[in-house]
Chains A and B, each alone.
Chain A
Amino acid sequence: MTNRPALLGGMLLAVLGSLCPFLWFVLTSFKSQIQVEAIPPTWWPDGSLAFYTSALVEHRLFHYVRNSVVVAGATTIIVLAVATPAAYALARLRLPGKAWILGGLLCVAMFPPIVMAGPVWQILERLGGLNTHWGLVLPYVSLSLPLAVWILTVFFQELPFELEEAARIDGCTTWQTLSKVLLPLATPGLFTAAILTFIYAWNEFFFALLILTNPDQQTLPVGIALFQGEFTMPWGEIAAASVVATLPLIIVVLLFQRGIINGLSAGAVKG
């Protein structure tokens, strides 16, 4: 496109359209109760931190954050531990039917969550996993594995084959080849898979709502969705909690924008 004004206009529109709605929520979180309930609304906040204090003290925001960190962290670690060897085998070893395995994983990734919801709930009830963090981590791992395996498989396929031959000649076992030779080179791929898994687990709402009915275990999305005030909607506290829930993701996106874009298109286009 040599058309600079059009590009500039499009760019401005894209950035403003993406950011402005959320900026309004950020501004809201720094307002006072009187400002939030002003009709017509006021634009600029007092810079009050009252809603953050209230969200932390009265709505146990920190406790939801901690639950989300535990669940999303554990999911990410398990997914990486399970997906990495699987992706390596699917990309580099001679396995009969591996195209079927990859295709099958892609199909499973497309299952609507509700078709698994009832039986997953029943399994967890039998195992005593309802209202526990591990009970939520198990389905999360299963649901985010297909994408992670795809991203890592694509990544391993692009590494040169000579590396493994050299390792094999040196007498490395398959596991050693993976851990000592390929893994260090695959760090960007691991990073991308980890980030996408973490974002998924951090944001997931449907299963969290079903499995965690006790507020003590609930994650941030469930907390934010069920935020209730005594008389009116606590919009200021909801906005403050939303900013807290979103801030880590914004930082991740700013830092790893390139890896995320490559990872998402690897999962989709090469599939």
Chain B
Amino acid sequence: MSPARGTTGWGMVLPALAFVAFFSLYPAIDSFLLSLYSEFPGPEPAFIGFGNYAELVQDPVAHQAFIVTLGFVLLSTTLELVLGTGLALVIHERFMGRGVVRAAVLIPWAIPTVVASQMWRFLLNDQYGAVNAILFGDRVDAYVPWLADPWMAFGAIVLADVWKTSSFAGLLILAGLQVIPDETYDAARIDGATAWQRFWHITFPLLKPALLTALLFRTIDAFRVFDLVFVMTQGGPGDATQVIQFYGYKTLFTEGRVGYGTTISVTVFVATAMLSLFYIRTAGSKLLQREPA
């Protein structure tokens, strides 16, 4: 390969790298640098080292936001993996009209999150909502103001997220199903294994890498939940649905506290990165050990 081709290669990659460096990498690093400054007391930001992080550790609102976020991540990703596996098993089968079913399942994924959020907000409306109408019919006095109750509101954002993104988890799991050869099941079928036994003893172990990928992607995405909360609850009632990205947004852009806001965002970043590494390491090494068997 001539050196001229090498230069062309770099020329081809460079614009992409420049974009990512300037609008993703540099901002992330700059966020960290900004988080070392405080807007208080003077007109000019003052360098305070890790002072903002010390404040964050003491901040009860931030604690609450982290707990809400973790709860949201755990609950929604678990439900999405379970439902996603079910969806994947269904759309993996060959049947008439499979293309239409696949497209139907993809629609929640394609709908803008803001639209899905307004939709669920209206479905759960205390007076005009379909959910109350289905549950209580004409018994209007039994209608529940779902989004006004802390626990129900939390359940509502989980529900909306699960509805919207289970199909994405399902697609990643489907990709895992597609690489399992059909012959794998033949012996089990001859031995008279039931469908459930075949799933649990053959499909599930072979599906673990795909499940892990889905878990990783969904976790990272659930950590950055914002649109649902902004539209459906604005973090309320109280702080019941105030997830960390919403708290960071309010601190940064509503209150204009750059130093403290970036501290929150850098913490979110570090938490996501650590969780991803943890998944990859624990589950990844187990998968490798499984390989020779």
Which residue in B34, B195, B249 is a CB contact (below 8 Å) of A114? B249
CB of B90 within 8 A of CB of A139, answer: no
CB of B90 within 8 A of CB of A10, answer: yes
Q: Judge if B252 is at the interface, Cβ distance under 8 Å.
A: yes
CB of A261 within 8 A of CB of B115, answer: no
CB of A205 within 8 A of CB of B13, answer: no
Q: A88-B12, A220-B112 are in contact. Are A269 and B175 (CB under 8 A)?
A: yes
CB of B101 within 8 A of CB of A14, answer: yes
Contacts of A11 in B (CB 8 A): 90, 95, 101
Question: By DSSP majority rule, is chain A's interface helix, strand, loop, or mixed?
Answer: helix
Q: Judge if B78 is at the interface, Cβ distance under 8 Å.
A: no
CB of B119 within 8 A of CB of A108, answer: no
Max chain A C-beta neighbours (<10 A), residue from B16, B19, B106:
B16
Contacts of A108 in B (CB 8 A): 20, 24-25
- Which stretch of A38-46, A52-60, A183-191 is in the interface? A38-46
Closest to B128 in A: A41
Shortest beta-carbon distance from A128 to chain B in Å: 16
Q: Judge if B49 is at the interface, Cβ distance under 8 Å.
A: no
Max chain B C-beta neighbours (<10 A), residue from A105, A111, A145, A206:
A111
CB of A119 within 8 A of CB of B17, answer: no
Task: Write out, one digit per residue, whether chain B residues 9-34 have a CB within 8 A of any chain A CB (1) or not (0).
Answer: 11111011101101111111011001
CB of B172 within 8 A of CB of A264, answer: yes
Max chain B C-beta neighbours (<10 A), residue from A38, A112, A141, A149:
A112
CB of A110 within 8 A of CB of B90, answer: no
Query: With contacts defined as CB atoms under 8 Å apart, how many contacts are there between chain A and chain B in the complex?
Result: 291
- Which residues of A from 142 to 186 have beta carbons under 8 Å from B? 142-143, 145-146, 149, 173-175, 178
Interface size on B, residues (CB 8 A): 101
CB of A265 within 8 A of CB of B175, answer: yes
| A39-B136 Cα distance, complex, nearest whole Å | 12
CB of A21 within 8 A of CB of B119, answer: yes
Contacts of A28 in B (CB 8 A): 122
Contacts of A111 in B (CB 8 A): 24, 28, 269
CB of B26 within 8 A of CB of A14, answer: no
Which residue in A3, A174, A224 is a CB contact (below 8 Å) of B112? A224
Q: A1-B93, A250-B107, A253-B106 are in contact. Are A40 and B268 (CB under 8 A)?
A: no
CB of A118 within 8 A of CB of B34, answer: yes
Shortest beta-carbon distance from A158 to chain B in Å: 15
- Which residues of A from 52 to 102 have beta carbons under 8 Å from B? 82-83, 85-86, 88-90, 93-95, 101
Q: Judge if B133 is at the interface, Cβ distance under 8 Å.
A: yes
Q: Judge if A25 is at the interface, Cβ distance under 8 Å.
A: yes
Task: Write out, one digit per residue, whether chain A residues 227-243 have a CB within 8 A of any chain B CB (1) or not (0).
Answer: 10000000100110010
Contacts of B10 in A (CB 8 A): 89, 95
Shortest beta-carbon distance from B183 to chain A in Å: 16
Shortest beta-carbon distance from B70 to chain A in Å: 14
Q: Judge if B213 is at the interface, Cβ distance under 8 Å.
A: yes
CB of B230 within 8 A of CB of A261, answer: no
| A246-B6 Cα distance, complex, nearest whole Å | 44
Q: A40-B137, A95-B10, A238-B118 are in contact. Are A249 and B110 (CB under 8 A)?
A: yes
CB of A141 within 8 A of CB of B19, answer: yes
Contacts of B214 in A (CB 8 A): 268
- Which residues of B from 92 to 144 have beta carbons under 8 Å from A? 93, 95, 99, 101-108, 110-115, 117-120, 122-123, 125, 127-130, 132-133, 136-138, 140, 143
Question: Which B residues have a C-beta under 8 Å from some C-beta of A?
Answer: 1, 5-6, 8-13, 15-17, 19-20, 22-28, 30-31, 34, 86-87, 89-91, 93, 95, 99, 101-108, 110-115, 117-120, 122-123, 125, 127-130, 132-133, 136-138, 140, 143, 163, 167-168, 171-172, 174-176, 195, 209-210, 213-214, 217, 220, 223-224, 226-227, 230-231, 245, 248-249, 252-253, 258, 261-262, 264-266, 268-269, 272-273, 276
Sample of 11 further A-B pairs with CB below 8 A, known A95-B9, A145-B16: A14-B86, A18-B163, A22-B119, A89-B13, A93-B5, A112-B272, A117-B249, A119-B28, A205-B227, A224-B115, A238-B122
The 9 sampled A-B contact pairs (Cβ below 8 Å) are A41-B129, A86-B12, A117-B27, A117-B252, A138-B19, A205-B114, A245-B115, A265-B172, A268-B172
